[in-house]
Chain A
Amino acid sequence: MPGLLDRRLIFVTGKGGVGKSTVAIALGVLAARHGLRTIVAELASQARIRDTFEHDGETFEEVKLSERLYTISIDPQLAMEEYLQVKTGAVGQALGASRLFQAFAMATPGMRELLSIGKVWELAQPQRRTEGANAYDLVIVDSPAAGHGVGILRTPRTFADIARVGPIAHQGRTIAQTIADPAFTAVVAAATAEEMPVNETLWLRDALAAEALPLDAVIVNALYPSRFTARERGRLRKARSGSLGAPATAALRAALSEHARAQGQQEQLQRLRDGLGLPLLELPYLFAETIGRDELDRLADALGTGIAAPDRT
């Protein structure tokens, strides 16, 4: 099995609120450091990644964030117009311009997902279909939350089955094969060490297995440092009963909270380890007001200790 950074396409998925976008960009920062021309693609059209880099510009454009690192926010409607133009020329263009057709296509269940993932597939091709576009070494997809995430991976196959023959079926099958190819595609789960995200990660592994897809790595985000031992907790508790100023009392309280949360996380982490039988990649909790470039670099450092450099460079 090739290393994570030797694939061309990585889907990062996980429950909402676990910092999936941050994990996806940090992975992108690491890949770019290794010399890979990398793009991080957001599927929901939210420009969160560009915000982190304080970058503004048009959406649905490949925007350069830093050396070798790019981002794009994929909009299903624009993906459709692009697809129609490339595949069917003038006829497709006319169709794309038809409001009726747009309404039909956008309302067809799964069509938005198919179009989005079709664009992801196009980005990952060594020979780009988009005119004048350069190839990427790696595409990292900031996918929707786990349930929708699996849905989106399944969509191409579903369309291939429903349409049976014709261009959609063909396209669906091609994309499905790409996703199923372990040399090309990896699926990474982002989680935090909490009850629901751990449950969801275990569920995700099973749901992927049902689609004959492996879960290639699990990145656990926002782990509290273990600052205090169990013995020290005793001392902290004892100190609280003494007569102290309000800030010192608050400090002890915060220390005890930290200890309790860190311990709770370690228990969940163990549950995740036992359930998965996979080594976990661990990221520290960032005590920061905002996540900017420095914070991303710290996360990329942490990822770098567990993710091997690519063979291809």
Chain B
Amino acid sequence: MSVADLLEGKHVCVCGGAGGVGKTTTSAAIALGMAARGLKVAVVTIDPARRLANALGLDELENVPRRVEPERFAGHLEMRGELWAMMLDPKRTFDELIERIADDPARAEEIKVNRVYAELSTAVSGSQEFTAVAKLFELDRDGDFDLLVLDTPPSRNALDFLDAPGRLTSFLEGRALKSFIRPTGLGMKVLSRGAAPFLSALRRVTGVDLLSDLSTFFGLLGDMTEDFSTRAAQVQKLLRAPTTAFVLVTSAQPAAIDEAVWFRRSLNEGGLPFAGVIVNRVHHDLVADGDLDGVRAELAGTLGDGLAERVAANLADYHVLARRDALGIERLERELGDRPRLLVPYLDDDVHDIEGLLRVHRFLFASESDREALIAQAVS
């Protein structure tokens, strides 16, 4: 099983997982491998390392995919398809969405300068997730690519990606306030008598300015809220389509495994199509517990006692990590059932350049037996 098998017949690949597990690199390596196999692929990243961005020739000012010149990979891999990449600009994506949905430019401008909107579109929490999905939806609808790979925003909690767009959408739909306030643009009108105590309590808690700002904002949005609802439904449909694959990226550390288990369950509960897990930074050592004593004795002759001692102590430490990782992976496997997991070993350096990307890509796209060989090679 390789990533190519996981993504057979898929048009969208969403890479989810907690922050700091190598999600961006993995997304780029997936896109690279699928492009090399002949597809036209776009990878949408949120906040890549500067060096990786430079390596891919990414320009944050564009907010549209740009082709990565195949020459960058010359001599390393045959590029049969096309690799495109873009860095998401949440604010700009939001603005463009408003411009598209508003029926006239003047109204779009008014919305864009509204204070509630300004806060909404730049809030760190939520806006990245919301716009990432919005961008994915648009790229899919335009149909210019065979495969879209989305690197989800970095967050503490992998589940934010699933929850945040919905929260923001329900706010934009104004469902919560609609039944109480008719947004006329001139002020609030209480629709029902029963609502009066509610409104007065609301005013006491939030202050009247916040309420009137919200009212103005929803007044400006007007029937656009319907469009938000329609789009949200379409986005949900896309995320649940059989041609969409959620790939979970994690490291083998206990905390990351916890998160991965949660994420897997949430995908299940949400009815989202889960394809498999990629476990990064795995410590393999292929050493048995009993081997450790023999190692020191064997090396003492060549290295001297002092150095041999430290080499053995180091091996013992890494052996603990290998055991820790193996336990974590076992735990993950129990959760996965028949879904595949692909392991990428802990490489000796940070992966932020083309060479590193190619290395990760080799692990992801190798056949099962080739991967075993690659791992053995990496640890001995």
A residues whose Cβ falls under 8 Å from a Cβ of B: 15-18, 21, 44, 46, 48, 84, 87-88, 91-92, 94-95, 98, 100-101, 103-104, 106-110, 112-113, 144-145, 147-148, 150-151, 158, 162-169, 194-197, 199, 227-228, 232, 235-236, 239, 242, 244-255, 257-258, 260-261, 264, 287-291
Known interface pairs A88-B201, A228-B310; A251-B315 also in contact (CB < 8 Å): yes
A17, closest chain B residue (CB): B20
CB neighbours (8 Å) of A92 from chain B are 201, 205
A250 in contact with B287 (CB, 8 Å): yes
Residues of B within 8 A of A250 (CB): 285-287, 315, 379-380
Q: Are A100 and B320 in contact (CB under 8 A)?
A: no
CA of A228 to CA of B306, assembled, Å:
11
- B265 contacts the other chain (Cβ, under 8 Å)? no
Compute how far the CA of A48 lies from the CA of B298 in the bound complex, rounded to whole angstroms: 42
With A107-B170, A163-B206, A289-B320 already in contact, the answer to whether A145 and B156 are too (CB < 8 A) is yes
The segment from B2-10, B37-45, B119-127 that touches chain A is: B119-127
- Asked if B155 CB lies within 8 Å of chain A CBs, one says yes
Query: Known: A15-B20, A44-B156, A104-B176. Is A255-B314 also a contact (CB below 8 A)?
Result: yes
Contact A100 to B155, CB < 8 A, known contacts A163-B207, A249-B380, A250-B285: no
How distant is the Cα of A148 from the Cα of B253 in the complex, in angstroms? 23
Chain A residues with Cβ below 8 Å from B339 are: none
Within 287-335 of B, Cβ neighbours of A (below 8 Å) are at: 287-288, 291-292, 294-295, 298-299, 302-303, 307, 310-315, 317-318, 320-321, 323-324, 327
With A195-B51, A250-B286 in contact, is A290–B299 under 8 Å at CB? no
Question: For B126, what are the chain A residues with a Cβ–Cβ distance below 8 Å?
Answer: 109
Tell me which of B49, B155, B209 contacts A145 (CB under 8 A). Answer: B155
Contact, CB under 8 Å: A110 / B119: yes
Interface residues of B (CB under 8 A from A): 18-21, 47, 49-51, 115-116, 119-120, 123-127, 154-157, 167-168, 170-171, 175-177, 179-180, 197-198, 201-210, 213-214, 251, 253-256, 258, 285-288, 291-292, 294-295, 298-299, 302-303, 307, 310-315, 317-318, 320-321, 323-324, 327, 348-350, 352, 379-380
Of the residues B21, B209, B299, contact of A251 by C-beta under 8 Å: B299
Shortest distance in angstroms between A291's beta carbon and chain B's nearest beta carbon? 8
What is the minimal beta-carbon distance from A236 to any residue of chain B, in angstroms?
7
- Are B327 and A289 in contact, CB atoms less than 8 angstroms apart? yes
Are the CB atoms of A258 and B19 closer together than 8 Å?
no
Given the complex, which residues of A lie within 8 Å of B213, measured CB to CB?
A: 162
The smallest C-beta distance from B58 to any residue of chain A, in angstroms, reads 15
Residue numbers in A under 8 Å from B50 (CB-CB):
199
Contact call B176/A253, Cβ cutoff below 8 A: no
* B379 touches which of A87, A169, A235, A253 (Cβ 8 Å): A253
The reply to whether B352 and A195 form a contact with Cβ atoms under 8 Å apart is yes
How many residue pairs at the A-B interface have CB separations less than 8 Å? Answer: 224
B21, B127, B307, B311: the one within 8 Å of A17 (CB): B21
The chain A residue with its CB closest to the CB of B173 is A107
CB distance from B124 to the nearest CB of A (A): 4
Q: Are B171 and A151 touching (Cβ within 8 A)?
A: no
Question: Contacts A15-B154, A100-B179 given: A109-B119 contact, CB under 8 Å?
Answer: yes
Minimum distance in angstroms from B292 CB to a CB of chain A: 8
| Chain A neighbourhood of B286, CB < 8 A | 246, 250
Residues of A within 8 A of B208 (CB): 165-166
Among B120, B176, B207, the residue within 8 A (CB) of A168 is B207
Q: A101-B201, A165-B209, A196-B352 are in contact. List 8 more A-B contacts (CB 8 A).
A: A44-B156, A168-B207, A239-B303, A247-B287, A251-B295, A251-B312, A254-B311, A254-B314
Assess the B251–A95 pair: CB atoms within 8 A.
Answer: no
Cα-based distance from A245 to B258 in the complex (angstroms)? 37
- Please indicate the chain B residues that have their CB under 8 angstroms from the CB of A113 in the complex: 125
The interface residues of chain A lying within 8 Å CB-to-CB of B207 are 163-169
CB pair B350–A194 under 8 Å, yes or no, is: yes
User: Which of chain A's residues have a CB closer than 8 A to the CB of B310?
Assistant: 227-228, 255
Q: Known contacts A244-B298, A257-B348; is A94 also within 8 Å of B201 by CB?
A: yes
Specify which chain B residues have a CB less than 8 angstroms from the CB of A151 in the assembled complex.
Answer: 123-125
8 interchain pairs (CB within 8 A)?
A46-B157, A104-B176, A148-B125, A242-B302, A250-B285, A257-B318, A287-B320, A289-B323
Q: A228 to B116, alpha carbons, bound, how many Å? A: 57
With A107-B170, A144-B156, A166-B208 known as contacts, the answer to whether A101 contacts B202 (CB < 8 A) is: yes
Report the bound CA distance from A141 to B157 in whole Å: 16
Residue of B nearest to A291 (CB): B254
CA distance A195 to B47 in the complex (A): 13
- In the complex, the chain B residue whose C-beta lies closest to that of A110 is B123
A255 B315 Cβ-Cβ under 8 A? yes
- In the bound complex, do residue B156 and residue A236 qualify as a contact, i.e. CB atoms below 8 Å apart? no
Question: What residues on B are CB-neighbors of A249 within 8 Å?
Answer: 380
* Closest residue of A by beta carbon distance from B158: A16
CA distance A152 to B292 in the complex (A): 48
**Interface pair A258/B318, CB less than 8 Å apart:** yes
On whether the beta carbons of A199 and B49 are closer than 8 Å, the reply is yes
B residues in contact with A144, CB < 8 Å: 125, 155-156
Q: Give the distance in Å from the alpha carbon of A235 to the alpha carbon of B21 in the complex.
A: 34
Cross-interface CB contact of A288 among B255, B302, B311, B324, cutoff 8 Å: B324
Q: Chain A contacts of B205 at CB under 8 A? A: 84, 87-88, 92, 95, 167-168
